[in-house]
């Protein structure tokens, strides 16, 4: 069954997404019990542009010029404005949003019961606990190490439990990136938080409107032409390399061979990879779920991970970051020690209730439910090399034009690919989340439009 | 009843602490149901000093030099080491820790039930929620505004809900403080996180061993001689003024007149006050609980606040920060808009379960229980001008010597005052938390030592 017409060319690494998309529509994706959304973007949804309340008084404190560099009318606020305008124009339309994704499916009871139990215990003398370790509870760190990195040499004390990957990326910026001459590379397109937090920290130059890039950032082009993996021979050396796999927004997952190349590239250049594995649960087969499956990665990589997609914890807030003790600055000082210091200075640990939920996810019963859930998604039928979103190519068209046409004619909200970087121009990202009925209805409307 | 001998001169603003201490020992303090601890310090408890795992490989990324400026053998790790050594030497001693405070008393059931209910609801289609607003849930923000700032002109959208004040202080550093020439002032002594995060952000010079201060920070001396309120005529203008009241560690609370002076000082200088009100629940009478009780404060102040002491939420993690829209940078741009951007870029909201607990704290039933609890503490008998800890003066002695003597002879762990700033030398901080029996036992041992 083909949902999108032939001129919507879905592309992804190893063409898995296009297979997936063409053969299965959205309905297979929607069989999930534990939902697994896009991460919400690192952009602000409510920055007004004109100060409405004028008082005479101003302090003499200068505004941080780096924040001013950020682009004001950013991706998701703009989508929100256009959606609102559309709804005003078509008050009776049933608008379906496949733009920003979010988890929508309930969390398995074995997990919520554990959290409720922990919450209720806080009313008892025996069950009460105050400040926990900034790095997370020992038992959870140990279970994360054994569950996800059992034979990879990652130990309990390499793992820092957090309130989510977005906070950790921000802390990593302070710890690792902050400094006057540190340079960074990102996949283009990629999750905007990497670039945004780097801009705020003063790592970048101004936004260059002509090329739609910030100065001093190395954009690693990921397009259908290079199988969504950057041609590393053309990438300049940087101190930091942000790498997300499976990638948001393209849905492509780097293969073992590609990650071996990436680790070698980092090692040859003395770079540090910050590997975002938020969508790792969506890969299967031989495609690595962790960068630490690659020999030597412990000396060049940090990995951020999250319970958000794994167990629908987007609102509960729980994630972790792995900083192996083998990773060293140029003077031989372990990166983990500075990261630990940052965590201890600016964070007081994840909520103890959320951590109880995380532990339940990793219990034998919790694990079984989660594994069943992901197995039932049927991804393995298509080689396991994709993520739960689709990156659709409209050659020669502008992303915003395609976005507008789809919205105008089908009342479906998507996300213009150009918002993820200049190489995203000509694409839209279609989220395969949202309630099943909505996704099916959106498919019907797409077919109608492009029949 | 006098617990401490006459040569232990307890001092505090308005001498309320000494009255409190001398007349009531610790037992009045310990009647609380909702416990209210010290905030855990912004220092790292587990930084090893020598890299034990040597691998040959190093990256070519330079270490952030600002982190290296932080003092390695910091207050609480050092206390931990001395406590461990003491226990090794006296294996049979019953050591009582009145050093680092922490909440120890259970949370009222009306609050934990609300959290358990929210957790369980996440397993249902109707009750599930994914990403929440980065700024916090609308209902909680509204309730915070009406409960704490009802007639002060602070509105729902001025309030940013967070996972705790420590995280907010860190975000404020990035938002407000970060920049090449921003200057800051702190109370001396004060909560170490202010200085530490400023050091990490590169705001300060090196640590100057002779004066025990970091360069480029204005230390505002708070001693018995000035009633623990800085002589503002001797304080140089800075962009930022950190001010914590009731203060950790001295326990002094600034009076209305003093805060009027402080706001005027900030306004005259065009400075921004970051007002830490974490211990606000311990003041009563006319002493302000919020800086926004002072006319004009909205144009010069940000306030951080927390559920930690209010409801024993140290492990649950919930706080909030008020950034009034009237607060402007020198170019007229509202500070709140940049703070909002920082929150949206590096944070994904507090745990929805914790927020349900916060809302329950502010329900009529929750509020009644909490107010009863704090009333039962009996603070109002002493003018309501103190906090639940005691700052004890040992004139002419070193804080660490006093610490050692008390530990050696009574097996009680306190905190050397010098760890909070150079003006803390000669003091020790005694936490009035911990289980009632332990505190009473500690009092007995003090009497024995100093009889």
ipTM of this complex: 0.82
In a domain, A1, yes or no: no
Under 8 Å between Cβ of A402 and A310: no
- The pLDDT tens digits for B94-144 are 888 877 666 777 899 999 999 999 999 999 989 999 888 999 999 999 999
Hey, are the CB atoms on B345 and A196 less than 8 Å from each other? yes
Hey, are the CB atoms on B349 and A317 less than 8 Å from each other? yes
Structure tokens at B38: 């010290």
A154 CA: distance to closest CA in chain B (Å) = 13
Interior/surface letters B132-171, b for 16+ CB within 10 angstroms, e for the rest: bbbbbbeebbbbbbeebbeebebebbbbbbbbbbbbbbbb
Task: Mark whether A170 and A76 lie in a shared domain.
Answer: no
| Residues of chain A with C-beta less than 8 angstroms from the C-beta of B53 | 325-326, 334
A401 CA: distance to closest CA in chain B (Å) = 27
Q: Which of B63, B133, B179 sits opposite A331 (nearest CB)?
A: B63
Alpha helices in B90-158, H assignment, sequence order: 109-121, 138-149
CA gap A358, B74 in Å, rounded: 32
In a domain, A223, yes or no: yes
pLDDT at B46: 37
Under 8 Å between Cβ of A351 and B163: yes
A141 CA: distance to closest CA in chain B (Å) = 15
Q: In chain B, which residue's Cα lies nearest the Cα of A191? A: B345
Question: Do the bridges between strand A240-244 and strand A184-188 make them parallel or antiparallel, or are there none, so unpaired?
Answer: parallel
| Residues of chain A with C-beta less than 8 angstroms from the C-beta of B347 | 163, 166-167, 170
Q: Which of B48, B106, B325 sits opposite A122 (nearest CB)?
A: B106
A205 CA: distance to closest CA in chain B (Å) = 15
Q: In chain B, which residue's Cα lies nearest the Cα of A173? A: B346
Under 8 Å between Cβ of A194 and A43: no
| Residues of chain A with C-beta less than 8 angstroms from the C-beta of B352 | 315-317
Hey, are the CB atoms on B348 and A163 less than 8 Å from each other? yes
CA gap A173, B192 in Å, rounded: 22
Task: Mark whether A252 and A307 lie in a shared domain.
Answer: yes
In a domain, B246, yes or no: yes
Interface test with B, best of A43, A113, A122 (most B CBs within 10 A): A122
A451 CA: distance to closest CA in chain B (Å) = 34
B451 CA: distance to closest CA in chain A (Å) = 34
Structure tokens at B195: 């200085």
Hey, are the CB atoms on A330 and B197 less than 8 Å from each other? no
Hey, are the CB atoms on B337 and A122 less than 8 Å from each other? no
Hey, are the CB atoms on A352 and B316 less than 8 Å from each other? yes
Task: Mark whether B300 and B170 lie in a shared domain.
Answer: yes
| Residues of chain B with C-beta less than 8 angstroms from the C-beta of A369 | none
| Residues of chain B with C-beta less than 8 angstroms from the C-beta of A113 | 120, 123
pLDDT at B156: 97
Hey, are the CB atoms on B346 and A108 less than 8 Å from each other? no
Hey, are the CB atoms on A62 and B352 less than 8 Å from each other? no
| Residues of chain B with C-beta less than 8 angstroms from the C-beta of A315 | 122, 129-132, 349, 351-352
Q: Which of A106, A196, A346 sits opposite B128 (nearest CB)?
A: A106
Task: Mark whether A130 and A20 lie in a shared domain.
Answer: no
Interior/surface letters B68-100, b for 16+ CB within 10 angstroms, e for the rest: ebbbeebbbbbbbebbeebeeeeeeeeebbbbb
B335-346 vs A165-172: helix crossing angle, rounded to 10: 110
Q: Cis ω on the peptide bond leading into residue B443 (within 30° of 0)?
A: no
Hey, are the CB atoms on A182 and B344 less than 8 Å from each other? no
Domain boundary, last residue among B310, B338, B367 = B367
Q: Which of A45, A337, A345 sits opposite B344 (nearest CB)?
A: A45
Interface test with A, best of B237, B338, B351 (most A CBs within 10 A): B351
| Residues of chain B with C-beta less than 8 angstroms from the C-beta of A302 | none
Hey, are the CB atoms on B351 and A347 less than 8 Å from each other? no
Under 8 Å between Cβ of B387 and B251: yes
Q: Which of B58, B123, B130 sits opposite A108 (nearest CB)?
A: B123
Hey, are the CB atoms on B103 and A130 less than 8 Å from each other? yes
Q: Which of A63, A300, A316 sits opposite B338 (nearest CB)?
A: A63
CA gap B317, A291 in Å, rounded: 31
Hey, are the CB atoms on B59 and A328 less than 8 Å from each other? yes
In a domain, B3, yes or no: no
Under 8 Å between Cβ of B78 and B41: no
CA gap B433, B389 in Å, rounded: 8
In a domain, A3, yes or no: no
Residue A42: give the domain boundaries: 9-104+373-450
Task: Mark whether B300 and B183 lie in a shared domain.
Answer: yes
Hey, are the CB atoms on A351 and B349 less than 8 Å from each other? no
Interface test with B, best of A137, A304, A346 (most B CBs within 10 A): A346
Hey, are the CB atoms on A60 and B330 less than 8 Å from each other? yes
Structure tokens at A239: 């101190």
Task: Mark whether A274 and A413 lie in a shared domain.
Answer: no
SS3 B33: coil
Under 8 Å between Cβ of B416 and B399: yes
Hey, are the CB atoms on B131 and A314 less than 8 Å from each other? yes
CA gap B355, A211 in Å, rounded: 42
Q: Which residues contact A248 (CB under 8 A, 6 or more apart)?
A: A38, A39, A190, A191, A278, A279, A387, A389, A420
Cα–Cα separations (whole angstroms), residue A57 to A54, A114, B13, B242, B268: 9, 51, 32, 21, 11
The residue length of chain B stands at: 451
Q: Which residues contact B133 (CB under 8 A, 6 or more apart)?
A: A45, B349
Average pLDDT for runs of 10 along chain A of length 451: 34 30 30 32 38 69 83 70 90 82 82 96 93 93 95 96 92 74 90 85 86 91 92 96 91 93 97 94 86 97 93 94 96 92 90 96 86 57 47 87 90 87 87 69 78 68
pLDDT at B384: 30
Interface test with A, best of B110, B161, B353 (most A CBs within 10 A): B353
| Number of domains making up chain B | 2
Question: Do the bridges between strand B319-322 and strand B301-306 make them parallel or antiparallel, or are there none, so unpaired?
Answer: antiparallel
In a domain, B70, yes or no: yes
Domain boundary, last residue among B308, B338, B367 = B367
**Please, is B209 exposed, middle or buried when counting C-beta atoms within 10 Å of its C-beta (0-12, 13-18, 19+)?**
exposed
At B421, give phi and psi (nearest 5°). 140, 160
Task: With residue B159 as reference, give the H or E element that holds it.
Answer: strand B159-162
Hey, are the CB atoms on A329 and B62 less than 8 Å from each other? yes
CA gap A40, B57 in Å, rounded: 36
In a domain, A305, yes or no: yes
Distance from the Cα of residue A135 to its chain's centroid: 22
Q: Which of B63, B135, B299 sits opposite A333 (nearest CB)?
A: B63
Q: Would you list the DSSP string of B301-347?
A: EEEEEESHHHHS-TTT--EEEE--TT-B-TTS-BHHHHHHHHHHHH-
Q: In chain A, which residue's Cα lies nearest the Cα of B168? A: A346
Most distant pair of Cα atoms in chain B: their distance: 66
| Residues of chain B with C-beta less than 8 angstroms from the C-beta of A344 | 42-46
In a domain, B1, yes or no: no
Say which CATH number the domain at B345 has.
Answer: 3.40.640.10
Task: Mark whether B229 and B316 lie in a shared domain.
Answer: yes
pLDDT at A46: 37
Hey, are the CB atoms on B113 and A127 less than 8 Å from each other? no
Say which CATH number the domain at A59 has.
Answer: 3.90.1150.10
Q: In chain B, which residue's Cα lies nearest the Cα of A351? A: B316
Q: In chain B, which residue's Cα lies nearest the Cα of A265? A: B59
The residue length of chain A stands at: 451
Structure tokens at B103: 């909440």
Q: Which of A55, A173, A315 sits opposite B130 (nearest CB)?
A: A315
Under 8 Å between Cβ of A287 and A77: no
Task: Mark whether A345 and A423 lie in a shared domain.
Answer: no
Task: Mark whether B385 and B252 lie in a shared domain.
Answer: no
Task: Mark whether A187 and A335 lie in a shared domain.
Answer: yes
Q: Spell out where A63-162 has E strands.
A: 96-97, 159-162
Q: Cis ω on the peptide bond leading into residue B327 (within 30° of 0)?
A: no
Hey, are the CB atoms on A55 and B178 less than 8 Å from each other? no
SS3 B349: coil
Task: Mark whether A52 and A124 lie in a shared domain.
Answer: no
Q: Which of A37, A55, A334 sits opposite B51 (nearest CB)?
A: A334
pLDDT at B5: 36
At A185, give phi and psi (nearest 5°). -120, 145
A314 CA: distance to closest CA in chain B (Å) = 5
In a structure prediction context, what are the per-residue pLDDT tens digits for chain B, which is 451 residues long?
A: 333 333 333 333 233 333 323 333 332 222 222 233 333 433 333 333 344 445 589 999 888 888 888 875 467 777 888 888 999 999 998 888 877 666 777 899 999 999 999 999 999 989 999 888 999 999 999 999 999 999 999 999 999 999 998 899 888 887 776 666 789 999 999 988 888 888 888 888 888 888 888 988 999 999 989 989 999 999 999 999 999 998 888 888 999 999 999 999 999 999 999 999 998 888 878 899 999 999 999 999 999 999 998 888 999 999 999 999 999 999 999 999 999 988 988 899 999 999 999 999 999 888 887 777 666 654 332 223 456 667 888 889 999 999 999 899 988 888 888 888 899 899 888 776 666 677 678 777 877 877 6
Which residue from B298, B223, B285 is spatially nearest to B256, judged by alpha carbons? B285
Residue pairs spanning A and B at CB distance below 8 A: 396
Task: Mark whether A378 and A363 lie in a shared domain.
Answer: no
Domain boundary, last residue among B367, B387, B405 = B367
CA gap A80, B208 in Å, rounded: 51
Hey, are the CB atoms on B42 and A201 less than 8 Å from each other? no
| Residues of chain A with C-beta less than 8 angstroms from the C-beta of B334 | 51, 53
């Amino acid at each position: 069954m083909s949902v999108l017409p032939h001129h919507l060319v879905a592309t992804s690494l190893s063409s898995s997404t296009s297979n997936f998309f063409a053969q299965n529509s959205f309905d297979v994706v929607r069989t999930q019990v534990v939902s697994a959304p896009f991460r919400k973007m690192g952009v602000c949804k409510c920055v007004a542009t004109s100060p409405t309340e004028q008082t005479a008084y101003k302090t003499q404190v200068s505004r941080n010029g780096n924040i001013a560099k950020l682009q004001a009318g950013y991706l998701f606020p703009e989508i929100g404005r256009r959606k609102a305008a559309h709804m005003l124009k078509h008050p009776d339309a049933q608008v379906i949003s496949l733009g920003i994704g979010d988890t929508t499916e309930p969390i398995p009871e074995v997990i919520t019961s554990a959290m409720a139990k922990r919450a209720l215990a806080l009313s008892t003398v025996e069950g009460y606990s105050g400040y926990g370790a900034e790095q997370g509870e020992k038992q959870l760190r140990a279970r994360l190490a054994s569950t996800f990195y059992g034979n990879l040499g990652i130990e309990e004390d390499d793992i820092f439990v957090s309130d989510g990957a977005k906070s950790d990326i921000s802390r990593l910026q302070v710890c690792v990136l902050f400094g006057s001459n540190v340079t960074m590379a990102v996949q283009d397109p990629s999750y905007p938080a990497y670039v945004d937090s780097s801009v705020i920290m003063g790592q970048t130059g101004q936004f260059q409107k002509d090329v739609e890039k910030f100065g001093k950032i190395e954009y690693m082009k990921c397009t259908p032409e290079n199988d969504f993996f950057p041609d590393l021979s053309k990438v300049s050396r940087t101190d930091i390399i942000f790498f997300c796999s499976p990638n948001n927004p393209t849905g492509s997952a780097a293969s073992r061979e590609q990650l071996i190349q990436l680790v070698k590239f980092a090692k040859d250049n003395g770079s540090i990879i910050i590997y975002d594995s938020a969508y790792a649960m969506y890969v299967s087969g031989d495609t690595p779920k962790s960068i630490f499956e690659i020999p030597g990665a412990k000396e060049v990589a940090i990995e951020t991970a999250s319970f958000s997609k794994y167990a629908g914890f987007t609102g509960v807030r729980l994630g972790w970051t792995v900083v192996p003790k083998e990773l060293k600055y140029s003077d031989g000082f372990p990166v983990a020690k500075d990261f630990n210091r940052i965590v201890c200075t600016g964070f007081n640990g994840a909520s103890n209730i959320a951590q109880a939920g995380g532990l339940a996810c990793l219990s034998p019963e919790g694990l079984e439910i989660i594994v069943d859930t992901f197995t039932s998604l049927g991804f393995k039928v298509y080689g396991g090399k994709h993520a739960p979103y689709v990156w659709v190519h409209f050659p020669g068209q502008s992303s915003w034009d395609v976005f507008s046409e789809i919205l105008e004619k089908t009342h479906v909200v998507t996300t213009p690919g150009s918002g993820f970087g200049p190489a995203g121009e000509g694409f839209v990202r279609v989220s395969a989340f949202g309630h099943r009925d909505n996704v099916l209805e959106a498919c019907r409307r797409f077919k109608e439009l492009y029949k």
